[in-house]
Copies of this chain bind each other. A is one copy, B any other.
Amino acid sequence: MTKLHLTQARAELTHTITALNESFEAVTVSVPAERALTIYVDKREIVTLMTLGVNPELLTLGYLLNQKLIASPAEVASITVDWCATEEGGAAAVKTHSGLVAIEQRTAHRIVTTGCGQGSSFGGLLDAAQQLRLPDAQLPQAALFEMLSLIRLQDTTYKQAGSVHGCALFRIDARRKSAQLLYHVEDVGRHNALDTLAGWMSLQALQDKGCSDAPRAGHTGCALYTTGRLTSEMVLKSVQMGVPFVVSRSGMTQMGYELASKLNLCLIGRALHTRYLCYTGGEKITP
């Protein structure tokens, strides 16, 4: 198997500015960074994402996966990110082993979606999601509460500067009724955060199995946490990532609800401390 080469581009995540408060006093506040990252695949420009910049290589990988422009990270030879590529922002240069299949067709149909975040997807996501089958799994309530507690303890850009969304993946041990934080990422857009997580998951799958056709879905015993609202696109992406539980601090929309019901996703919202509302798949939560 050919190794996937990723750069490790880093950038400042917060910035300090001086604001005037209601008493006309100067106060110093932190704000999150927001920078442009243009993705090129085999020198072809695909899209420009506005991002916080935590892990642009994984964001790029996850974006290509979630937009179904690639089916596996094994298709990619390298992702090279340069934050100083142009005056306008950074560039992520993706080199594939054998080119993107049917790129014209895949990028032709645009859906501009609702959510906080990147909010744009190429066609066929819904069709694809309907063909997936989420693993049957259970989420003990104690493990759910542990997830919420672990998230609260994270050192975050949100705590420092606000105005970002967070996304995290947990391993659930149903027997021990416990949760373990696997990966946590923040971005100015919640879709970027979710895509970065998708990139991380795909890489884990690739490394664990050591084979190029490692399945991306079927992550039994995993649960996803997001600070963002559960709109249709968030639900679709979660299903695509094969995660059977999605937990949000926020609420959801009607289409998020309908898709989750249809796709057998357990959707939990308004989750904070020891409170939550389980919208779909309530039978999967055990006392």
Contact = CB atoms under 8 A, between A and B. Distances in A.
Interface residues of A, number: 65
Nearest to A37: B112
Contact of A117 (B29, B31, B116, B287): B116
B118 A34 contact: no
Nearest to A24: B287
A229 interface: yes
A285 interface: yes
Given A48-B111, A229-B163, A31 B116 contact: no
A91 to B, nearest CB: 14
A218 interface: no
A34 B163 CA distance: 24
A253 interface: yes
Contacts of A21: 275-278
Interface string A166-192: 000000000000000000000111111
B51 A114 contact: yes
Given A163-B229, A279-B17, A254 B114 contact: no
A251 B47 contact: no
Interface string A143-169: 000000000000000000111000000
Contacts of A225: none
19 contacts: A17-B254, A20-B278, A22-B276, A27-B277, A29-B277, A31-B252, A31-B257, A33-B254, A35-B255, A36-B111, A48-B112, A50-B255, A114-B189, A115-B117, A115-B119, A118-B119, A119-B119, A119-B189, A120-B120
